């Protein structure tokens, strides 16, 4: 089932709900990363349904089939990560929360994992457990210092170019390039599948980053660095870093995991950034860790 909800500022957000054939043993909310969309998680959704879990997800504002805010529309943009947090809370209050069955598990990737941490710190008691893959704690600088990146993004945004694409990101989407040069997955089969999804529906495409998004990302990452932030996340967490990640810093993920109150941390060696889009052996390891952590009983009392 797919539908739409409106945000506090009038944007349309696409969401999906998937139910297993029998009584759900638990519910999972999938939070995708920057530039991702519902269809990209079809395989993961099927695997969760096979585990008798109900699944909820949505396209973040500015990507997927949710409202875009830029011209061209393929530029990923947000004014502030507070908007992402507000959209997620609306989704939980009005859609996922009232419909869930059993314990509620968050499964969040990259930017979604970053927003998850912010949300879990602010909104205790909504989720029972959370699984984060390659969470965006710190962006991999790729030859540029973080201070320089922030300074340029802040200056451009202040001059009114917040929604303009950062030049060196324009026209770049790993799934429309060469498999050999991509930073996201070592699975050629899943790489080609995601390429076909984008070619079949160009409206899903994000191929640039706005100056405003980058500034907003740095502002939000600075929130996570504040003293006492980690102590506010008290639910059980499974945090997974990719051993060959060139998009976000696995070292920063490990450093944060060390100060979280209740966390299991693992590095999936050989994995590029998108663990759930990786090769079969890496994904098998992910599901082994997920199943052990989730530990969902066959029978439960609804809550």
Does residue 299 sit within a domain? no
pLDDT tens digits along 252-263: 999 999 999 999
In this structure, is residue 271 part of a structural domain? yes
The pLDDT of residue 302:
41
Q: Is residue 215 part of a domain?
A: yes
φ/ψ (deg, to 5) at 261: -65, -35
Does residue 302 sit within a domain? Answer: no
Tell me the C-alpha distance between 143 and 85, whole Å. 30
**Domain range holding 203?**
2-294
What letter does residue 95 receive in the DSSP assignment? I
Task: Output 281-290 pairs: Cβ under 8 A, ≥24 positions apart.
Answer: 282/186, 286/133, 286/240, 287/47, 289/238, 289/240, 289/264, 290/107, 290/131, 290/238
Kindly give the parts of the chain with pLDDT less than 70.
Answer: 141-143, 297-303
Distances (CA, A) of 164 to 142, 143, 211: 21, 22, 6
Decide: 289 and 240 in contact? Cβ < 8 Å: yes
Residue 133 in contact with residue 286, Cβ under 8 Å? yes
Assigned domain for 67 exists: yes
CA distance 260 to 234: 8
State residue 303's pLDDT score.
Answer: 40
Q: How many domains does the chain have?
A: 1
Q: What is the CATH number of the domain that holds 132?
A: 3.40.50.1820
pLDDT tens digits, residue range 46-56? 999 999 999 99
pTM for the model: 0.96
Nearest Cα residue to 204 out of 19, 4, 39, 5: 39
Cα 159 to Cα 258: distance, rounded to the nearest angstrom? 39
Q: Judge whether 301 lies within some domain.
A: no
pLDDT of residue 62: 97
Residue 47 lies in a domain: yes
């Amino acid at each position: 089932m797919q539908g739409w909800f409106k945000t506090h500022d009038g944007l349309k957000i696409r969401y999906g709900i998937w139910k297993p054939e029998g009584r759900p043993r638990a519910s999972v909310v999938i939070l995708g990363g920057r530039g991702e969309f519902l269809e990209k998680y079809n395989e993961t959704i099927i695997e969760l349904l096979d585990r008798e879990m109900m699944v909820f997800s949505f396209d973040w504002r500015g990507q997927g089939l949710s409202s875009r805010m830029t011209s061209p529309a393929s530029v990923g943009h947000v004014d502030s990560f507070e908007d992402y947090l507000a959209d997620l809370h609306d989704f939980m209050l009005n859609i996922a929360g009232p419909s869930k069955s059993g314990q509620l598990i968050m499964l969040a990737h990259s930017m979604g994992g970053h927003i998850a941490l912010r949300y879990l710190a602010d909104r205790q008691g909504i989720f029972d457990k959370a699984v984060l893959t390659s969470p965006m704690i710190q962006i991999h600088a790729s030859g540029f210092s973080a201070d320089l990146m922030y300074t340029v993004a802040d200056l451009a945004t202040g001059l009114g170019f917040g929604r303009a694409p950062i030049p060196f990101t324009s026209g770049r989407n790993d799934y429309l390039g060469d498999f050999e040069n991509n930073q996201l997955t070592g699975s050629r089969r899943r790489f080609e599948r995601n390429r076909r999804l984008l070619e079949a529906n160009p409206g899903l495409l994000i191929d640039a980053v706005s100056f405003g998004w980058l500034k907003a990302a740095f502002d939000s990452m600075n929130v996570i660095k504040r003293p006492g932030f980690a102590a506010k996340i008290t639910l059980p967490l499974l945090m997974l870093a990719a051993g060959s990640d060139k998009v976000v810093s696995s070292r920063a993920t490990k450093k944060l995991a060390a100060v979280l109150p209740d966390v299991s941390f693992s590095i999936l060696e050989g994995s590029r950034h998108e663990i759930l889009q990786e090769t079969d052996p890496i994904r098998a390891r992910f599901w082994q860790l997920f199943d052990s952590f989730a530990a969902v009983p066959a029978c439960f009392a609804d809550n």
